[in-house]
Amino acid sequence: MLRIWLIRALLAAIPFLIYFTWRWRMKSLGREHGDTPWGWLVLAGGLLAAASLLVLPLVTPSHRGQTYVPAEAQPDGSVRPGRFE
């Protein structure tokens, strides 16, 4: 679950990373740049995070019609992970 949240946070941060990289490059070249467009950056990050919510069901496998077999402890102390059959 943490991995999913981190991926969404990274997607939301992409517009900020692109903008601040561009701004740093323009500053190093001595060119003028305007104020930071916070509203546009937040909107773009939110749209990327929302798009990930829409794409996730399309790329994850569906286990409809399958039976879940829970994890089992083996006699040797190891654990067989849960699975779908």
Query: Token pair of 11, please?
Result: 């997607």
pLDDT score for 47: 96
Whether pTM > 0.95 for this model: the answer is: no
Radius of gyration of the chain (CA): 22
84: tokens are 């779908």
Q: Is the pLDDT of residue 65 over 90?
A: no
pLDDT single digits (tens) 4-47: 889 899 999 999 999 999 999 999 999 887 899 999 999 999 99
Q: Based on the number of CB atoms within 10 Å of its own CB, is 62 exposed (0-12), middle (13-18) or buried (19 or more)?
A: exposed
